[in-house]
Structure 1
């Protein structure tokens, strides 16, 4: 008598386990992610996909690829941002260096110009201090140095006379300091100036005096007016050059003025 076994009880006809299928898919997903450099567990998505669509393998691998692409894109974006920041920093550094160079060049030029101005000012002052002029503009010597005659107490002329009508402006021949200004016997109204080079000049027979002792004077500055005071026989200017302020230390006034660049 043949025995009959209930359908579905035989092991040969039993359906494959879904657990086994899901486990295999999970293992494959993990292996794939490990190979692609992405550390992730796809068991959850695979199982869900398996339940929903029955295609766990396709769903897990697709998500792994998308995740890998997203990470690579982010890394690329970060690298590009870093390169851009580095280029901007380098450009800013170049701009700052150029600005500093231009500022330094501007300072150098300004300093050079200032030094040139100072040099020019010193040169102008040096020229001013060493400039000499004739005591009477446009005049000439009417009586020479050391001319002899009874008109002079020493027997000779200790200076020179410049032709000048009464009231003609008389000028300092150079830069100096007035040491005497007033009446001086036979010289009449007289001014004595210590010049910047240490010599002395005297201006006699003035009709009036425009400076006082201790006053600083410059070349061509008016110090008085020509006249006929003192031991004089007509309006003119008596001019002397001396080594000291005292009478008797006279030197040739024409040679003195010429040595200082005055053409007579």
Structure 2
């Protein structure tokens, strides 16, 4: 870095100016008699031509010495001034660098705090959204559970309302009618006649227990296909044949009107229907008139 020095600061006059000034000073001193007093002894001796010779009194040497000292002092002052200016400039540069560093650090801190604030706000937003979604999910699950519970209650109430009293009897297929009478003759039956009655029913129609009793057979029954046999509470037996599916098991107690299976076309059958028998024992051949049996228990058929 180049340093400039202001005009007139620590600048000494040139040697020519100083010499002239010294000469002028000498003349002044001579006019006042000071120089004459000092040099008087040296001017007493005349020269060869009769003119007094000036001898060196030491004043000129002193003046020259003073000039050299003044030059060195001036050079030192100039060097010190330059060093001071350089030090001041360096200090100012360091101060500006520190200030810039401080401003940069403050700006970075501000940006970091702003980024942290935004991240916290985003995290809080996501947390709130997740909480809201969880609450909505819990509410939906609660509503679904309440709906299922209500449906179960309604179903149970409906079944209770539809189910007849424990001692009463019902048709095995609600609202149906007899399509083939008891003891009808024909080659379709191994005994030569029909041992039960057929109720009109399409595949999948609900088949019900005609009265209260206990399941003693539930499964494949040969010519009867899928069949169920119930020992009724009065000691008689009822049989339900050609079922598409069975929904009860042996040993299970059933109430009047309770579903025991679905009508179908299994076994020796020529179309979907329900074969219904009433018996005095679980054995084949102990059949009685199913229509008369149901009527005796108050069923309108």
Instruction: Output the TM-score relative to the length of structure 1.
Output: 0.52
Residue among 250, 253, 260 paired with 1:216: 253
What is the SS of the residue equivalent to 1:232?
A: coil
Residue 195 of structure 1 pairs with residue 232 of structure 2: yes
Which consecutive unaligned segments of at least 5 residues does structure 2 have?
Answer: 1-163
> Structure 2 matches for 1:76-95, cutoff 5 A?
none
Residue 145 of structure 1 pairs with residue 182 of structure 2: yes
Superposition RMSD on alpha carbons, in Å? 0.8
Residue among 251, 256, 259 paired with 2:293: 256
For residues 152 and 129 of structure 1, the distance between their equivalents in structure 2, rounded to whole angstroms, comes to: 34
Instruction: Output the TM-score relative to the length of structure 2.
Output: 0.45
Which residue does 1:19 correspond to in 2?
A: none
Does the CA-based 8 Å contact 1:135-1:220 persist in structure 2? yes
Instruction: Return the offset for 1:129.
Output: 2.9
For residues 128 and 217 of structure 1, the distance between their equivalents in structure 2, rounded to whole angstroms, comes to: 12
Which residue does 2:43 correspond to in 1?
A: none
Instruction: Return the offset for 1:130.
Output: 1.7
What is the SS of the residue equivalent to 1:129?
A: coil
Count of matched residue positions in the alignment of Structure 1 and Structure 2 = 138
Residue among 193, 209, 213 paired with 1:172: 209
Structure 1 residues 136-186: Cα deviation after superposition (integer angstroms, max 9, x where no partner): 000000000000000000000000000000000000000000000000000
For residues 166 and 256 of structure 1, the distance between their equivalents in structure 2, rounded to whole angstroms, comes to: 25
Q: Which structure would you say has the larger Rg?
A: 2
The 4+ residue runs of structure 1 with deviation greater than 4 A are: none
Which consecutive unaligned segments of at least 5 residues does structure 1 have?
Answer: 1-126
> Structure 2 matches for 1:19-58, cutoff 5 A?
none
Which residue does 1:244 correspond to in 2?
A: 281
For residues 246 and 129 of structure 1, the distance between their equivalents in structure 2, rounded to whole angstroms, comes to: 26
For residues 245 and 299 of structure 2, the distance between their equivalents in structure 1, rounded to whole angstroms, comes to: 25
